[in-house]
Structure 1
Amino acid sequence: MPLPWLHTPEPGVFRGKFLVPDRLPERLSYREPLRRRLRVRFAGEWIADSEHAVLLHAPGRFPVAYFPAGDVRVEVLEFRQRTTVHPDLGRTAWYAVRVGDRVHEGAAWQHVRPPEHAADFANLVAFSWRAMDGFQEEDEPVTAHAADPYHRIDVRGASREVVVSVDGRVVAKSRRPRVLYESDRDPQWYLPRADVDETLLRQESLRTTCPYKGVATYYTVGRHAGAAWSYVDAIAESAAVADFVAFDPNKVVVQLDGKRLHDVLGRRGAKSGLDRAFASGR
């Protein structure tokens, strides 16, 4: 049961049409078993290890992973008398995570008073992705946030001409691009570095992570910051674009077979969930 309306790039943006007679509810959250072994590491120790983790899909948010309390080392959790209210799951208690001398405030939470239809969340614990040392599915790291089982990456080789220019100057030109198709986003065209004038790229310090592609390195092109990016060491499912360079058609001129691309919904993904905003509880 794919739920694309839960993670569209912008609220209210739909790529298709739901064939239902009535309007969809404005908020609709969805839980499902992850069906994969998921582990959490902190201060050099495994503090959660479960084959029964649960994913929460909430409107406009990346999915969040929850662990049955029985699969968590509960002795590492310290309640600080801080609570917030989740819009769907009610009263939420926040915990510090402590292992030895290392402690991280607000790094875990539990919904202590969920509504009756979501009662099982009272026995589930979630951890901040940013606060932990790492999450792994079996022995493979998962970066940024819990992977969405409905999110797909497909890379295809192409012979179409892609020309990139800025201020009238050609930055890249290729007839051997690779196009990356990603759920809920427009196609992204990646060019081999040999077809890019790298003297026109200035590497930035900015890095972002994606559970489906890896770590992105960004470049300024001309006066435009973040106008190009590359997954230098892309993970397996996106390996075909490893060290290729993509350009943002909203910042520089990108032409595909002579036609300029406009208003591409690319890297503007869903908002982070509680697992990223551990300090604020939002």
Structure 2
Amino acid sequence: MGLSWQQGPLSAGAIGHFLTPEPLPQRLLFAERLRRRMRVKFNDTWIADSEDVIVLHEPGRYPVAYFPREDIEQHALAASGKVTRHKDLGDTAWYTVRAGDRSTERAAWEFTALPEHAAGLQGRIAFAWRAMDAFYEEDERILGHAADPYHRIDIRNTSRTLEVRLGDTVVARSEHPVVLFESGFAPRWYVPRADIDETQLRPVEGQTFCPYKGLCDYFDIGDARRAAWSYGNAYREVDRIGDMVSFEPDQVEVTLDGKRLEPEPGQRVMPHGVDRGLDVDELRTR
């Protein structure tokens, strides 16, 4: 998302290009100070607390936060002896994270043989997001991954006509859908429930989680699996799409002003699971 995910400018599937006379390297990494206080909790203990976090944007990965060693609890890390190699940043040493009577192996890492151009990451530790109990900015829990300052969502009303069909069946028809523009993604069109034949929607088990929109529910339409989705309790920042429904154009026929929408390459979404120890009700009421 943002810089390095989906079709962002540093991703492998970027839809734009840099206006330079010479081609850029196939992989570009970008690091910058977060400029926010960030904390990490493990086994009910604050094991990291820093106002000097660096966020690394790496192609095809969510942003990762790196903490100065001096801002990490002294006894929270134990060297595991495991070393791997990062294709751009060299040797990577792995740590067991521990607090009280609990420990998790390979839950943190550090680059130990950085090239000179990446020296800003020297002496910094990153924590595996799912291995920790929680990450916070100030006193607010951050979900999914480190905050990406380059990720943006805009929602716009439109008077264009959107129609959804499965074969000869009209599933939805609306003259006032809303369109959601999200960094790195093609526009997504959402339809009010009043404009949908809800007898065609069959709820299915299994939800995914978006750090920016909340929990997502899915629907089958006829034989089309997970052909529609909805954020029934969308976060307040995007509550305009709350309980509206969007349709997958590679599963059903979606037309906008009579022109069929085609799925764009590189737009399949990698589902994001719920963070460790996070109650689903907490997600709904965030």
Please give the range of the TM-score, normalised by the shorter of the 2 chains: 0.7 to 0.9
Please give the secondary structure, in 1, of the residue aligned with 2:130: coil
- 1:109 offset after TM fit, Å? 1.0
- What letter corresponds to residue 173 of structure 1 in structure 2? R
- 1:220 offset after TM fit, Å? 2.0
Distance 2:92 2:163 in 1: 51
Please give the secondary structure, in 2, of the residue aligned with 1:194: helix
Please give the secondary structure, in 2, of the residue aligned with 1:130: helix
Please give the secondary structure, in 1, of the residue aligned with 2:112: strand
Gaps of 5+ in 2: 273-286
- 1:143 offset after TM fit, Å? 1.9
Distance 2:81 2:140 in 1: 35
Distance 1:189 1:241 in 2: 10
Q: Check whether the contact 1:31–1:55 (CA below 8 A) recurs between aligned residues.
A: yes
- 1:145 offset after TM fit, Å? 1.6
Q: Check whether the contact 1:86–1:92 (CA below 8 A) recurs between aligned residues.
A: yes
Aligned to 2:282: none
> What is the TM-score when the length of structure 2 is the normalising length?
0.85
Higher RCO (CA 8 Å, separation ≥ 6 residues)? 1
Q: How many residues align?
A: 271
Q: 1:236 to 1:123 in 2, by over 3 A?
A: farther
Correspondence list, 1:238-253, <5 A: 238-253=238-253
Q: Check whether the contact 1:230–1:245 (CA below 8 A) recurs between aligned residues.
A: yes
Distance 1:261 1:227 in 2: 14
Q: Check whether the contact 1:56–1:66 (CA below 8 A) recurs between aligned residues.
A: yes
Q: Check whether the contact 2:7–2:14 (CA below 8 A) recurs between aligned residues.
A: no
Q: Which has the larger displacement, 169-178 or 203-212?
A: 203-212
Aligned to 1:162: 162
- What letter corresponds to residue 154 of structure 2 in structure 1? D
Distance 1:191 1:74 in 2: 52
- 1:269 offset after TM fit, Å? 4.9
Please give the secondary structure, in 2, of the residue aligned with 1:148: coil
Q: Check whether the contact 1:9–1:269 (CA below 8 A) recurs between aligned residues.
A: no
Q: Check whether the contact 2:231–2:242 (CA below 8 A) recurs between aligned residues.
A: yes
Distance 1:74 1:169 in 2: 64
Aligned to 1:55: 55
Q: 1:96 to 1:193 in 2, by over 3 A?
A: farther
Distance 2:23 2:188 in 1: 32
1:97 corresponds to 2:97: yes
Distance 2:140 2:6 in 1: 27
Distance 2:204 2:124 in 1: 40
- 1:150 offset after TM fit, Å? 1.1
Distance 1:271 1:22 in 2: 36
- What letter corresponds to residue 253 of structure 1 in structure 2? E
- What letter corresponds to residue 88 of structure 2 in structure 1? D
Q: Check whether the contact 1:143–1:214 (CA below 8 A) recurs between aligned residues.
A: no
Aligned to 2:13: 13
Distance 1:248 1:85 in 2: 39
Q: Check whether the contact 1:215–1:233 (CA below 8 A) recurs between aligned residues.
A: yes
- Alpha-carbon RMSD across the aligned residues, in angstroms, is 2.5
Deviations 1:155-184 (A, max 9, x none): 111222211122321222222211100112
% identical equivalent positions: 50
Q: 1:239 to 1:77 in 2, by over 3 A?
A: same
1:209 corresponds to 2:188: no
Distance 1:269 1:48 in 2: 31
Q: Check whether the contact 1:254–1:261 (CA below 8 A) recurs between aligned residues.
A: yes
